[in-house]
Amino acid sequence: MEITVLPPQPDEPQITARFAIQSLGEHAAGFLAANNLQGWPDDHDYVLRNDRIGDILLMLSATTGLYVGQAKRFAWLISKISAEAGAKIPRRVSLDMAVKALGYFSYDVAYKCRSVDDFIQNFWPQGSAMGLQSLESLAPRTNANQRVINILLHHYQRNQEMDRQFNREALILKDASMKNTREYKRIKILKRQIAEKERVDSRRPVEYRQDL
């Protein structure tokens, strides 16, 4: 029997389904998947749920932002979950928690920086942890994105005038002598419309960022 020894042959090229990495998150996920061919153990297969406060805040940080009505709904949910656990978080604190996930110092700051349609944009990806001092004094900040500052400043200045108008209208509503005037009735209708918009906005599904 004659045995023929052949020289080593190159490996056949393999077709892969690789795609362009768009973010560090995808790179990290790809690395972990390539080194974890057996899959994830059950205790590592974590699923985000809306009955855990930490999960809610993580999901909010991944959104494009929240309408004022949505922020109030999630604040109510946070307070409800904490109350069921025996340590209720006050509504004001839960509102602050919800908007901190979007990059704002507090709900008061976020509300004053809302857009014309009452949308609180998520600026966390741009590195913005925003307080009113930066907007009121126009103090330079080396750790803030100037584009973000300009957008928030535009909203803030518009809302200052809007809030002054709301305060004037609130005084009219408190004045008993104005109760039967046309202006009083106009303001009451406007207040109902604002409340109805918040109610409708609170039911909107949140939108998630595309860069995740």
77 occurs within a structural domain:
yes
102 occurs within a structural domain:
yes
Mean pLDDT of the chain: 79
Task: Encode pLDDT of 40-70 as tens digits.
Answer: 565 555 677 888 898 999 899 989 999 999 9
38 occurs within a structural domain:
no
Distance CA 210, CA 203 (A): 22
pLDDT on residue 167: 85
Phi, psi of 52 (to 5 degrees): -130, 130
- End-to-end Cα spacing for the chain: 63
33 occurs within a structural domain:
no
Phi, psi of 119 (to 5 degrees): -100, 130
Q: Return the structure tokens found at 96.
A: 């602050």
Phi, psi of 89 (to 5 degrees): -90, 125
Mean pLDDT of 115-131: 75
167 occurs within a structural domain:
yes
Helix, strand, or coil (residue 204) = coil
pLDDT on residue 115: 92
Q: Is 145 left (phi over 0), alpha (psi -120 to 50) or beta?
A: beta
Tell me how many domains the chain contains: 1
Distance CA 90, CA 159 (A): 26
11 occurs within a structural domain:
no
9 occurs within a structural domain:
no
Question: For the chain, how are helix, strand and coil distributed in percent, rounded to 5?
Answer: 55, 5, 40
Among residues 144, 136, 141, 119, the alpha carbon closest in space to that of 206 is found at 119
pLDDT on residue 8: 74
31 occurs within a structural domain:
no
Q: Which residues pair with 119 in a beta bridge?
A: 67
pLDDT on residue 201: 92
Mean pLDDT of 147-153: 81
pLDDT at 136 over 60: no
28 or 7, higher pLDDT: 7
Q: How far is CA 115 from CA 65, 68, 79, 211, in A?
A: 11, 10, 26, 22
Domain that holds residue 104: 47-202
Place 142 in a pLDDT band, splitting at 50, 70 and 90.
Answer: very low
pLDDT at 37 over 60: no
